[in-house]
Amino acid sequence: MRKVPITLTVNGQPRTVSVWPMERLLDVIREQLALTGTKEGCGEGECGACSILFDGQIANSCLIPALQADGSEITTIEGIGCGEELTAVQRAFVECGGAQCGICTPGMIVAAVALLRQNPEPSEADLRQGLAGNLCRCTGYMRIFEAVRSACKEGRLRQ
């Protein structure tokens, strides 16, 4: 088997990279695109540390073969903020202590953003369901939930 070129849109920019067809998109993102905000936790789709938006929907990048990303549009944690400027969700994670060791944080924020785009006023059950695929071994989750609730509140105030 040979490496093949794929073209995809990464955080709004078109990029072409050469990949092994079954290579994990996670490895392409970290090693070829040098976007190391996306983390590897379990490598088997259980922990959510490698969450990205894949054609607008949250997905575990460790479970996407690189060739399937040809022609796709992906958003990584680097594409969630705007340069130095934090989004409401990111600010709320800082303010509420939603991040500790930081390994789950990029995936957690991508999951929170995906949830709020789909459902700007999530119920407590929606919130837990939306983040159920992301594991955190530091915070005990309460501060993470608090951060997402706080970001929703801020979203409401700004409207």
36 is an interface residue for other proteins by CB under 8 A: no
Applying CB under 8 A, which of residues 60, 75, 76, 105 lies at the interface with other proteins? 60
73 is an interface residue for other proteins by CB under 8 A: no
Kindly give the pairing relationship between strand 4-10 and strand 73-75: parallel
Contact 111, 48 (CB under 8 A): yes
* Angle between the N-to-C axes of helices 142-158 and 88-96, in degrees from 0 to 180, rounded to the nearest 10: 140
Smaller CB distance to other proteins: residue 51 or 90? 51
Concatenate the DSSP letters of all residues of 61-76 into one string.
Answer: GGGSBGGGGTT-EEE-
Alpha helical stretches, state H, 76-135: 88-96, 105-118, 124-130
9 is an interface residue for other proteins by CB under 8 A: no
Applying CB under 8 A, which of residues 9, 45, 97, 149 lies at the interface with other proteins? 45
Residues 96 to 135: which contact other proteins by CB under 8 A?
111, 114-115, 129-135
Smaller CB distance to other proteins: residue 2 or 158? 2
Applying CB under 8 A, which of residues 51, 75, 90, 105 lies at the interface with other proteins? 51
Question: CB of residue 43 vs other proteins: minimum separation in angstroms?
Answer: 5
76 is an interface residue for other proteins by CB under 8 A: no
Applying CB under 8 A, which of residues 9, 11, 15, 70 lies at the interface with other proteins? 70
Measured CA to CA, the distance from residue 131 to residue 127 in angstroms comes to 6
Applying CB under 8 A, which of residues 58, 108, 116, 136 lies at the interface with other proteins? 58
How far is residue 47 from each of residues 28, 78, 104, 121, measured CA to CA in Å? 19, 19, 8, 25
